[in-house]
Amino acid sequence: MAEISFIKLPEVPLEMHKVRIVQKLSLLPLEERVKKNKESGNNAHWLKNEDVFIDMLTDSGVNAMSDRQLSAMMLADDAYAGSASYYKLEKIVCEIFGMKHFVPAHQGRACEHLLCEVLLKPGQYVPMNHHFTTARAHILKSKGKVEEFLYDEGWQAQSDLPFKGDVDVEKLRDFILKKGRDKIAFVRMEAGTNLIGGQPVSLESFRKVSKLCREFDIKYVLDASLLADNIYFNKTREKECQNMEIKEIISLICKQFDIIYFSGRKLACARGGGMCFLSEEDYLKFRDLTPLYEGFLTYGGMSIREVEAMAVGMEETLDFDMISQGPIFIAEMTRILTEQGVPMVTPAGGLGVHIDCTKFLPNVPPNQYPAGALHSALYLAAGIRGTERGTLSEDRDKNGNEVIAKMELLRLALPRRVFTLSQLHFAADRIIWLYENRDLIGGLQFTDEPKVLRFFFGKLEPIGDWQKKLVKKFRKDFGDSL
Ligand X SMILES: Cc1ncc(COP(=O)(O)O)c(C=O)c1O
| Residues known to be catalytic | 80, 132-133, 223, 266, 389, 455
Q: Are 28 and 383 in contact (CB under 8 A)?
A: yes
Question: Which residues on adjacent β-strands are paired with residue 277?
Answer: 101, 259
Least CB distance to ligand X at residue 161 (A)? 19
Cα 66 to Cα 416: distance, rounded to the nearest angstrom: 11
Binding of ligand X at residue 273 (CB under 6 A)?
Answer: yes
Give dist(CA 482, CA 469) in Å, integer.
17
Give the nearer residue to ligand X in terms of CB position, either 148 or 223. 223
CB-CB contact of 424 with 382 (8 Å): no
Q: Is 55 in the site for ligand X (CB under 6 A)?
A: no
Cα(409)–Cα(386) distance, integer angstroms:
10
Task: Name the minimum Å distance from CB 320 to ligand X.
Answer: 22
Q: In the bound complex, what is the minimum distance in angstroms from residue 376's beta carbon to ligand X? A: 22
Q: Confirm or reject binding of residue 223 to ligand X (CB under 6 A).
A: yes
The Cα-based distances of 317 to 161, 220, 251, 322 in angstroms read 25, 23, 13, 7
Output the smallest distance, CB 175 to ligand X, in A: 22
- Of the candidate spans 4-12, 45-53, 105-113, 283-291, the one that interacts with ligand X by CB under 6 A turns out to be 105-113
Cα–Cα dist 367/445, whole Å = 8
Pairing relationship of beta strands 273-277 and 352-356 according to DSSP bridges: unpaired
Which C-beta is closer to ligand X: that of 37 or that of 202? Answer: 202
Q: State the number of CA atoms in the 13 A half-sphere of 11 facing the CB.
A: 11
The site for ligand X, by CB under 6 A, has a size of 15
Q: Which of 36, 101, 109, 417 binds ligand X (CB under 6 A)?
A: 109
Which of 94-102, 223-231, 283-291, 365-373 is the region at the interface with ligand X (rule: CB under 6 A)? 223-231
Tell me if 226 contacts ligand X by CB under 6 A. Answer: yes
Asked if 103 touches ligand X (CB under 6 A), the answer is no
How far is residue 148's CA from residue 168's CA, in Å, rounded to a whole number? 9
Shortest Cβ distance from residue 108 to ligand X (Å)? 2
Min separation Cβ 147 and ligand X, Å = 17
CA-based angle 477:470:463, to the nearest 5?
175
Identify the CA nearest to 193 among candidates 470, 384, 362, 409. 409
Considering the rule CB under 6 A, would residue 445 count as an interface residue with ligand X? no
Nearest-CB residue for ligand X: 108
User: Pick from 15, 28, 60, 429: which binds ligand X (CB under 6 A)?
Assistant: 60
Question: How many alpha carbons fall within 13 Å on the CB side of residue 279?
Answer: 8
Task: Tell me the C-alpha distance between 374 and 358, whole Å.
Answer: 11
Stretch that binds ligand X, among 8-16, 102-110, 241-249, 430-438 (CB under 6 A): 102-110
Q: Is the dihedral of CA 383, 56, 161, 331 positive or negative?
A: negative
Binding of ligand X by 134 (CB under 6 A): yes
Q: Judged by CB, which is closer to ligand X: 267, or 364? A: 267
Facing residues of 462 across strands?
444
Nearer CB in complex with ligand X: 277/466: 277
- Rank residues 127 and 273 by Cβ distance to ligand X and give the closer one: 273
Q: How far apart are CA 188 and CA 192, in angstroms?
A: 13
Candidates 194, 210, 256, 368; binder of ligand X (CB under 6 A) is: 194
Instruction: Based on the shown chain and the rule CB under 6 A, indicate whether residue 225 belongs to the binding site for ligand X.
Output: yes
| Using rule CB under 6 A, residue 303 touches ligand X | no
* Minimum gap (Å) between residue 93 Cβ and ligand X: 15
Quick check: 272 and 264 in contact, CB under 8 A? yes
**Stretch of 36-44, 222-230, 361-369, 404-412 contacting ligand X, by CB under 6 A:** 222-230
Instruction: In whole angstroms, give the CA distance from residue 358 to residue 404.
Output: 12
Which residues of the chain form contacts with ligand X (CB under 6 A)?
60, 107-109, 132, 134, 190, 194, 223, 225-226, 263, 265-266, 273
